[in-house]
Amino acid sequence: MARRQAQSPADRANARRMYLAGADVTQIAAALEASPAQVEAWKATGAWSARRQHRLADPRGAAQALRELLGQRVEELLAHDALDAAAADELAKIGAVVAKLEGCGYDLKAAAVEVAERLADFAAGRESDVARLAWLADLLDAFFLDLAQGA
């Protein structure tokens, strides 16, 4: 399948947002139907790696990244009419834990583990697509690797 030329400012902004949220170049290229070389070029010219490292080293940045993942999950549930009372309650609990990350007196790693565990449990109970669950697991692994390297 030929890849379309992802050149618009919106494509570049989406790629940057995805990278800062923890996606890798291959995932971004696949999602935007762009070449990995194009995404790598955007990454290099925009200093995305340094921005992501700085963002995830700051507790508020880590919370923002998790909040974005939570927002994506909410959008997916709404798109598939799968947002019931139980899902809304679980999402609210995850949001509350993310809010703890945004506060000042907390252990970043402990809060991140709690949020990730809740998100993984929630996804496992709602998602039957093994590939999507594997994607989430890989994303959480990358998040914790970045978190450990920033500590």
Whether residue 1 has pLDDT greater than 50:
no
Give me the mean pLDDT over the 118-141 stretch. 84
Report pLDDT digits (tens) over 63-107: 777 787 788 778 888 888 887 888 888 888 888 878 877 775 556
More confident residue, 145 or 105: 145
Tokens 């449990």 sit on residue: 121
Q: In Å, how far are 20, 23, 54, 78, 117 from 16, measured between CA atoms? A: 6, 9, 14, 24, 26
- Single-letter amino acid, residue 3: R
Give residue 27's Cα distance to chain centre.
12
Whether residue 122 has pLDDT greater than 50:
yes
CB 111 within 8 A of CB 79: no
Mean of pLDDT over the chain:
79
Predicted TM-score (pTM) of this structure: 0.45
Give me the mean pLDDT over the 22-49 stretch. 87
CB atoms within 10 A of CB 73: 21
- What's the pLDDT score for residue 37? 93
